Amino acid sequence: MKRVITYGTYDLLHYGHINLLQRARALGDYLIVALSTDEFNWNSKQKKCYFSYEKRKKMLEALRCVDLVIPEENWEQKAEDVRLYKVDTFVMGDDWTGKFDFLKEQCEVVYLPRTPEISTSQIKSDLKA
């Protein structure tokens, strides 16, 4: 079984997120999504989420392409997650290109193109207008 992992906040879940998750799942047989906790988002990313971790987790678990959701609690856990979950492929959006190349010693690293016309930041900006 080929295992794939990706990371993100997935607040205001939209079709760009789903597109990325479906493409990540297509790279293997089992997709693990490491979902940023509320504490990690606030303390390390200075992001306040609209939906709580538990609500965001439920939304991701409802998607057919997602097999497992685990908490992302810090920047450093990625190498340990790859080892612990026996990951074959690490996937991120191409806005992170090169940032996780250090994981190539443990698994394949793939940066997928984002869906260009949608982002959570854009949704938040449009809602303020």
Residues involved in catalysis: 45, 47
Number of residues assigned to the chain: 129
Quick check: 37 and 53 in contact, CB under 8 A? yes
> Which residue type is seen at 8?
G
Distance of CA 75 to the CA centre of its chain: 13
Give the integer Cα–Cα distance in Å for 44 and 62: 27
Which three-class secondary structure state does DSSP give residue 88? coil
Closest C-alpha among 40, 43, 21, 36 to residue 72: 36
CB of 91 closer than 8 Å to CB of 24: yes
